[in-house]
Amino acid sequence: MNPLKKKPRTHSLQNAPEKPDWLKVKLAFPDPKNNPVAIVRNSLEEKKLNTVCESASCPNLNHCWSRKTATYMLGGDICTRRCSYCDVASGKPFPLDPEEPKRIAESSIALGLRHVVITSVNRDDLEDGGAAHFAKTVKEIRKGLPDCKIELLIPDLKVKQEALEIIFGCNPDIFNHNLETVKRLFPEVAPQKRYERSLDVLKIASARGFLTKSGLILGMGETLEEVKECMQDLASVGVSLLTLGQYLQPTSTHLPVKEYVVPQVFKDLRIYGKSIGFKGVFSGPLVRSSYHADEQISWNP
């Protein structure tokens, strides 16, 4: 992995390395009437819900939806921040929909979910960053699915203690906040985020006794040593679960892929992660933060 060189704001797909075979995924459903992907999509459309699966153009959409799992995205589909790798739209968001938490609960019940992942766009326009909206959603889900495991994948909330206390009050089964990349790349990859701020969020949650999780995306210009240093930083603040996956450029206006990391490197990083204290490391080219999230919770003994 070579260090990232400065690029102009407009990027191109033309000079990107060719996508390798291990990133090409196909799923076939012989019976269209019982297509689980269609079942999930219909449920989401009926309830007018957003998912990070669609908004972020996740490569695992068909795979996860075929297992009747999805990651709900709160607060609309417009983010107040603009990260160069992310396909979620940025701009001025609409006011929160007060009925959204209830509709997410209804969708979760209809799909019979046992593990629900809830994330949100950044809502820096709100005093609490949307924390109370998370809390309302968790309350509605637990009302209808008391045995359902709930994972919250939250923004940094600018490390506001009041907002974090609201999240802690939800008592999530997994507290997730993604670091995304190595420290050196933050100014270009996520200019409105701060590396230390994200570590602080995870450190505070770990100190409060929550099962904490974070994720990194590889192939954006980081070096292998930088990845290991980042993993050490995450382990040092008490993160238990870690996901490592390959970055895929959504469009020509996004940060270009610098490298398609070979599967063996992901395997080696999984072994390294276990050696420095992570309870679970889910590492592979197609791994994303909520990929097989229902299985990841079993890593915690």
Q: How far apart are the first and last CA of the chain?
A: 34
> Is 230 annotated to bind ligand?
no
> Is 58 annotated to bind ligand?
yes
What are the b/e assignments for 265-291, b being 16+ CB within 10 Å? bbeebbebbeeeebbbbbbbbbbbbbb
Instruction: List CB contacts of 91: < 8 A, sequence separation 6 or more.
Output: 78, 79, 80
Pairing of strands 174-176, 280-283: unpaired
- Name residue 171's amino acid: N
> Is 64 annotated to bind ligand?
yes
Q: Which residues are 296's β-sheet partners? A: none
Q: Which helix (H) or strand (E) holds 104?
A: helix 100-111
> Is 283 annotated to bind ligand?
no
Residue pointed to by tokens 């490391």: 281
3-class SS string, 32-57: HHHCHHHHHHHHHHHCCCCEHHHHCC
CA distance 135 to 42: 26
CA distance 229 to 18: 28
> Which of 28, 97, 91 is closest to 63 using CA atoms?
28
Largest CA distance in the chain: 51
Q: Which residues are 115's β-sheet partners? A: 149
Q: What phi and psi, each to the nearest 5 degrees, are found at residue 71?
A: -110, 110
CA distance 274 to 162: 34
> Is 170 annotated to bind ligand?
no
- Binding site residue list: 53, 58, 64, 79, 83, 86, 290
- Binding site residue list for [4Fe-4S] cluster: 53, 58, 64, 79, 83, 86, 290
